Structure 1
Amino acid sequence: MMKNWITPYMKQFKLQWFLTLLFGLLGIASGALLLFTSGYLISKSSLRPENVMLVYIPIVAVRAFSIGQALFPYLEKLVSHDLVLRILAMMRTKLYKMVEPQALFLQSRYQTGDLLSVLSDDIERLQDLFLRTILPSIFSVIMYTVFIAVIGLFDMTFAIMMALVLGVIVFLSPFLSLFWLRRYHISQKKVKNRLYEQLTDAIFGITDWQASGRTATFLEDFRETNAALQGYERKLQNRHHIRSAIIQLVIGIVMMSVLIWSSIQVGKAFLPQL
């Protein structure tokens, strides 16, 4: 899967991937620097500087980072979505060229609903793989490394503690989600394939259903399958909510820990001067 359907496109569009990562990191950096620079500007201005030129550079920096915070994420989304849509188009073309010469052979072994599921659903899920898995994972690992390295310059013990806590989000949570949700995704996939099969049976055999007087039976089976699919989707949604709540809790713990730690560091810095 990775070797035939993911890796070749990663290599083919190296420049676009690089630009996506660059714009994404610049957007994150602009947000962080805007917070720092605006805080510095407010603090410096509260001391009533004798000349506005003393705060001119922070004023310009705040404007630049404000623009960058909006511009770079937009460029990142623009490049990444254009890239992924191009890749999906090439994947669909590649899949069609593989399936079309073997149409009669595949039809004898697989139902039309299975092929329709691959063409319409499986390829579409690769879009989520690129936009919601690969890119966010790269961003999170880079920011995780930078954050821990910066804190380590001031307090190695606290940096190790933050590395362990944030590691729950960056490393542990994805693997737990994979094993926790895997069987639900597999069951959902099977039920969805069954829906595609029923759909194609209804389209190609509608006259047979009507002639045999089993239209009500078909509709009842379709409703049951659809209800089963909705049940799996609700279970997945509930577990996604639980995972998001745990992640938000960990983020809250990190924020409170950083606030307490920074307050202690500020106190240590000013204590010798008193």
Structure 2
Amino acid sequence: MKTKYLLLSKEDHWVRPFFKKYKGLLALVLFLGFLTFFAASALMFTSGYLISRSAAKPENILMVYVPIVLTRAFGIARPTLRYVERLGSHNWVLKMTSDIRLKLYQSMETRAAKSKSEYQTGNILGILAEDIEHIQNLYLRTIFPAIVAIILYVAIVIALGVFSLPLALLMFLLIGVILIVLPLTSVLVNNARVYRQKAKKHVLYNQLTDAVLGVGDWQYSGRYQEFLTGYNEAEGDVRKEDKVMKQYSRRESLLKQVIFGLIVIVLFVWAGNYFGATGEVKYLNWIAAFVLAFFPLIDAFAPVSDSLKELPLYEDTVRRLSELPSVEVQEENHEPLDILTEDMSIEFKDVDFRYEENQKLILESFNLVIPTGKVTAILGKSGVGKTTLSKLLRGDLIPEKGQVLINDYLTSELKEQQSEIIGVLNQSPHIFNTSIRNNIRLGNLEATEEEIELAAKQAGLESVYEKLPLGLDTLVEESGKRFSGGEQQRIALARILLQDAPIIIIDEPTIGLDPITEKQLLETVFNVLKDKTVLWITHHLVGTHYADSIVFLENGHISMSGTQKELLTTNSKFKELYQLDLYE
């Protein structure tokens, strides 16, 4: 077991690196943790001596003045140190988990195209919700307390060895049972149970998120109760495992209390014999001091066993995180590239791309140039790579071979400036539960009220919001359900106009719209986007007269290209498809 955890630690690139990164703060936290328990123990030590000495009726208050001052000092120091230690430890952990979350997002981003197919939503939720929380607990409830307890353990044995080697050896054995034997036994006994419980919890996450995303279909099919029954059974399995582990914890807790009681008795007997052997009454005052000093240390030793039994959880968490793609940390260049010019041309140069390693190439030696200020319509069957082109242009995907360039700059290098260069009008733009004005303002947070109103008018929204009592300040409601599909697209279009990016990707924004609304929307879109460089993904041939060039994708290549007029004149296949689309 020990070898297993050491091997995991050496291979871990998610948890262990943060020890080094924040080592200064970590050392301070551990030192404060030790001082907290030292102050608590010293408080009980001086209090025990003060009570015992005061009961013997000292001749003068000055005889107990020093213990009084020390009692006050340690009484103030204990909660103060505890508070500072908690601040430091939580600050350390929050910094660490913030870095881990960032690393997780970057890791998923490296395979953005594969993430959706390789990881279920519930699985990602499990990593974000449970695994990150487990890492927090790994430090706050396991590593920090365990290290502080070991430091105290060594300090106690050494301190008692000054007075009596047999006592120090006996304390070494008794505290060792609590600090070493019981935790290791707990890990061995509960290892399989913890794994089973965690696996069943992840099943719950997957079932729940899958069901929530498809809750409508459960209801429509009349099988909603079936889902509830299955979910309750799975949740019951988790509770059974939890019940067994709690029963073990209660028995272990009882054993720890017995050992703590035995330690107190041993200290009491030893102190009585050690200080009573002198025959002087004044030495008897130290008996209560030594016995009471141990009680605060129970809080340091008792939780170690409970926290260490969760090591399998942490091991599984690190294993799951380690299975994610590694992230190479590179020094970021925050200096913006000098890309924004009047000429904003796009070039796909010998591009090869596939989503899976053994999958057929979606794009193969693909070449396409979109000149500045021109509209290029991309057509083809589903799955031929139309949307893939837009993702490559945005830099969300990296080609296996070749280059995607904007003004001779690789699109993958433009992350920081992406929103300045590229705007997107897609099939389902998200409309937030706020006013029309605020939804449009998302395109440019610095925009003036006049600019927002102008963008709304250009997008054809004036006739919509003028009929509303609150105008642009009307609440759109969640997902924009107060407005029709065409009106939602116009809000998104106004957002893009406010963004004022020189390159626009239009990804089938008219899906689900009636022919009249579709025609009106396209007319507005291409009227207001005049002089922009546009990549237009569409499935309709009717309306392609807005495009300066039409490109058909087939088997990873361009099967035909030209203007609508040229293709209708020279290409019989295009003419046939156009006629079919016209009378659809």
TM-score w.r.t. length of structure 2 = 0.44
> Partners of 1:49 and 1:259 in 2: how far apart?
24
1:47 is displaced (CA, Å) by 5.2
Number of aligned residue pairs: give it: 272
Question: Alignment partner for residue 17 of structure 2, among 8, 33, 36?
Answer: 8
Question: Structure 1 residues 48, 240: closer, same or farther in 2, change over 3 A?
Answer: closer
Greater RCO structure (CA 8 Å; 6+ sep): 1
Query: 1:235-270 CA distances to partner (integer Å, 9 max, x unpaired)?
Result: 222222222222121111111111111111123222
Q: Give the aligned partner of residue 266 of structure 1.
A: 275
- Once the 2 structures are TM-superposed, how far is the Cα of residue 130 of structure 1 from its aligned partner? 0.4
Give the gaps of 5 or more residues in structure 2: 1-7, 281-584
In the other structure, the counterpart of 1:201 is 210
Could you tell me how far apart the structure 2 residues matched to 1:207 and 1:196 are?
18
Q: 1:254 to 1:46 in 2, by over 3 A?
A: closer
Deviates further, 203-212 or 175-184: 203-212
* TM superposition shift of 1:50: 5.1
Aligned counterpart for 2:152 among listed residues 125, 131, 143: 143
Alpha-carbon displacement from aligned partner over 1:153-203 (angstroms, at most 9, x marks no partner): 222122212211211111111111111111111111111111111112112
Find the partner of 1:78 among 87, 96, 99: 87
1:89 and 2:98 correspond: yes
Structure 1 residues 195-244: Cα deviation after superposition (integer angstroms, max 9, x where no partner): 11111211222233233322221111111111111111222222222222
Residue 114, structure 1, aligned to residue 123, structure 2 = yes
Q: How far has the Cα of 1:45 moved from its partner?
A: 4.0
How far off is 1:48 after superposition? 4.9
Residues 206, 35 of structure 1: alpha-carbon distance in 2 compared, 3 angstrom cutoff? closer
The percentage of aligned residue pairs carrying the same residue is: 36
Quote how far apart the aligned CAs of 1:41 are: 3.1
- Cα deviation for residue 152 of structure 1 reads 1.5
Alignment partner of 2:39 out of 20, 24, 30: 30
Q: For 2:145 and 2:59, locate their aligned partners in 1 and report how far apart those are by CA, in whole Å.
A: 46
**2:196 is matched with which residue?**
187
Q: CA separation of 1:266/1:49 partners in 2, compared to 1, >3 Å: closer, same or farther?
A: closer
Deviates more, 1:36-45 or 1:224-233: 36-45
2:29 pairs with one of 17, 20, 37: 20
What whole-Å deviation, never above 9, does each CA across 1:74-128 have from its counterpart, x for those lacking one?
1111211222122112211111110123233233233222221112111111111
Question: Quick one: structure 1 residues 139 and 212, their matched pair in 2 at CA, closer, same or farther if it must change by over 3 Å?
Answer: same
Partner of 2:110: 101
CA separation of 1:45 and 1:242: change in aligned 2, threshold 3 A: closer
Distance in 1, matches of 2:93 and 2:234, equals 32
Relative distance call for 1:31 and 1:114 in structure 2 (3 A) is: same
Greater percentage in helix: 1
- Aligned pair 1:247/2:247, yes or no? no
Q: Mind listing any 5+ residue stretches in structure 1 that lack a counterpart?
A: none
CA distance in 2, matches of 1:121, 1:141: 28
Of 111-120 and 177-186, the range deviating more from structure 2: 111-120
- Asked if 1:229 is matched to 2:238, the reply is yes
Q: 1:6-56 CA distances to partner (integer Å, 9 max, x unpaired)?
A: 222111112221221222111111122222223333444455555544433
- CA–CA distance in 2 between the matches of 1:204 and 1:43? 68
Query: Counterpart of 2:279 in 1: which secondary structure?
Result: helix
Which SS does the other structure have where 2:160 is aligned? helix
Matched, 1:166 2:175: yes
> In the aligned structure 1, how far is the partner of 2:231 from the partner of 2:51?
63
* Deviation (angstroms), 1:72: 0.9
| 1:175 counterpart (175, 184, 203) | 184
Work out the CA distance in 2 between the residues paired with 1:55 and 1:211.
81
Give me the whole-angstrom Cα distance separating, in 1, the residues matched to 2:51 and 2:273.
21
Q: Residue 30 of structure 2: SS of its match in structure 1?
A: helix
Matched AA of 2:150: V
1:257 paired residue number: 266
The residue type paired with residue 132 of structure 1 is R
Are residues 259 and 47 of structure 1, via their aligned partners in 2, closer, same or farther at CA, if it must alter by over 3 Å?
closer
Partner Cα separation in structure 2 for residue 190 and residue 44 of structure 1: 58
Write 1 or 2 for the structure with the bigger share of strand: 2
- Provide the C-alpha distance between the structure 1 equivalents of 2:240 and 2:59, rounded to a whole number of angstroms: 67
